[in-house]
Amino acid sequence: MNARSSQHSSKEAAAIADLAQALRVAGWHLERSAVGIDILARQSDGRRVVIEVKGMAARAAAASVRAQLASALLVARARAAKLGAEGVPIVAVPALSDRAIADLESFIADVAPGQSWGAVDARGRWHLVGSALSGLEPPAPDRALAKVDDARREAPPANPFSDLGQWMLKVLLAPRVRHLQLFGSERLPNIRGVLDLASRAKVAPSKASAQVAALQRAGYLERSRRELRLVRVPELLESWRHAANAVVQDVPARFALPAAEPAKRLDKVLGEHGEAAKGERLCLGLFSAAAKHDAPFVRGAPRHLYAEAHSDDDLRKLGLVAADSASADLNLRIARFPEAVFRGARPIDGVPSADLLQCWLDLRGHPARGAELADEIAEQLELGKVE
């Protein structure tokens, strides 16, 4: 297998032994290698790989782990080139976190897109990327480590349609739905990995990693070396809109002082409300927001104001009072998923308005000509072109 085992740290030696065993189980033949090569393996079709393992003796900063992976990459490529093989770098660390994986994914995407690589830890967690490493499984952990892994597996899986999950779905769709304009009118590059998703969505890497895993588990996301790509988008959108509207709470309200033109009064109130703290955010929703995005105007459609709170005091601050449906100037829709709604909202003519995809989600099943307007919005967003 290798001729320099005495030069390896204990972590490197353990990782090499485990990888070698996994290769054997997967049907690879281990060749006697030249001096300096950690693992040289060959498949029945003649394909050969040179694996270079670099280890970290203790927990280290992300930059140090990246440096070790870069070193392994250079060595693996150099040695593989002499043998007509594929070089594969592996970094072995004491503990592998979701954040570390995301950081390394981003690093490889920058310096060596398409490269097969891996990261393994002392607890038996492996993250292997690329066809050269497909099908490899880590050895069974010992009994103590198994308890840790069992606890991790017993944690409930992330819900892709949670509050932050829905927001991240918008972020994932934004590069392919140009007219969504979540981040302005400029065309966005594809999302390269978990760390890129976390950065754009402004969420913790662990949240982004859990969302990606949940979408993969549901069959709605494909993860390549170059991008995170949503698939089966029409099915995803249908499942999403049902989840987003499973429970809807509308509170009829009217202006305390009668308004000749309630829509203009509402715009004025929102414009004066300004940027609010979490818990007090507001924006136009449904038909009212769609009209701000130049979607067709639906005469007689109910006005909707998205809000996080709806106490009598909250209403008074907006010049509103509770009303019955017949006398209401608008419906206060209580945001069940506030991050998904308000993070995507943006001011249009000074009036905060829900994003156009949120309008589609809310209107697709709305009884008051909502489906008709939703079809218009889908055409405006070109959702039919997103497969």
The mean pLDDT of 44-72, rounded to a whole number, is 88
Q: Decide if pLDDT at 111 tops 80.
A: yes
**Residue whose C-alpha is closest to residue 264's, from 354, 360, 350, 370:** 350
Same domain for 275 and 378, yes or no, is yes
Same-domain check for residues 24 and 51: yes
Residues 13 and 146 in one domain: yes
Q: End of a domain among 198, 227, 244?
A: 244
pLDDT-derived band at 211, boundaries 50, 70, 90: very high
Query: What is the pLDDT confidence band of residue 305, given thresholds at 50, 70 and 90?
Result: very high
Residues 21 and 135 in one domain: yes
> Please, which pLDDT band fits residue 338 given cuts at 50, 70 and 90?
very high
* Residue 39, strand partner residues: 51
Strand arrangement, sheet containing 320-322: 320-322, 250-255, 330-334, 304-307, 282-285, 351-353, 346-348
Average pLDDT value for the chain: 86
- Which H or E element spans position 30? strand 29-30
Answer yes or no: do 9 and 125 share one domain.
yes
pLDDT given at position 387: 67
Residues 6+ apart with CB under 8 A from 377: 290, 293, 295, 356, 359, 360, 363
Residues 169 and 261 in one domain: no
Tally of structural domains, the chain: 3
* 228 in the same domain as 169: yes
Across 30-34, 267-271, 341-345, least confident range: 30-34
Task: Write out pLDDT tens, residues 3-54.
Answer: 444 456 677 788 888 898 888 888 899 987 666 789 999 988 888 999 999 9
- Residue 228: pLDDT band (50, 70, 90) is very high
pLDDT of residue 99: 87
Structure confidence by residue, pLDDT tens digits, 129-146 = 887 787 788 776 544 344
Residue where one domain finishes, among candidates 244, 260, 294: 244
Q: What is the CATH number of the domain that holds 210?
A: 1.10.10.10
- 37 and 136 both lie in a single domain: yes
Three-state SS for 265-305 is: HHHHHHHHHCCCCCCCCEEEEHHHHHHHCCCCCCCCCCCEE
> Helices (DSSP H) in 284-369: which residue ranges?
286-292, 312-317, 338-342, 356-363
- Of all residues in the chain, the percent with pLDDT exceeding 90 is 45
Q: Identify whether the C-beta of residue 51 lies closer than 8 Å to the C-beta of residue 93.
A: no
Of 154, 180, 195, the position where a domain reaches its end is 154
Over residues 154-174, the pLDDT tens digits come to: 456 778 999 999 999 999 999
Query: What's the domain range around 205?
Result: 163-244
At 39, the amino acid letter reads: I
Enter the pTM of the model: 0.63
State phi, psi for 201 to the nearest 5 degrees: -85, -10
Mean pLDDT in residue range 314-331: 90
pLDDT value at 152 more than 80: no
Q: Residue 275, Cα to own-chain centre: how many angstroms?
A: 26
Highest mean pLDDT among 128-132, 149-153, 346-350: 346-350
> 138 and 255, same structural domain?
no
Do 337 and 225 lie in a common domain? Answer: no
For the domain that residue 105 is a member of, what is the CATH number?
3.40.1350.10
Asked whether residue 219 falls in the same domain as residue 302, the answer is no
In this structure, the answer to whether residues 30 and 133 fall within a common structural domain is yes
- Region at 184 (left for phi over 0; alpha for psi -120 to 50; beta for the rest): left
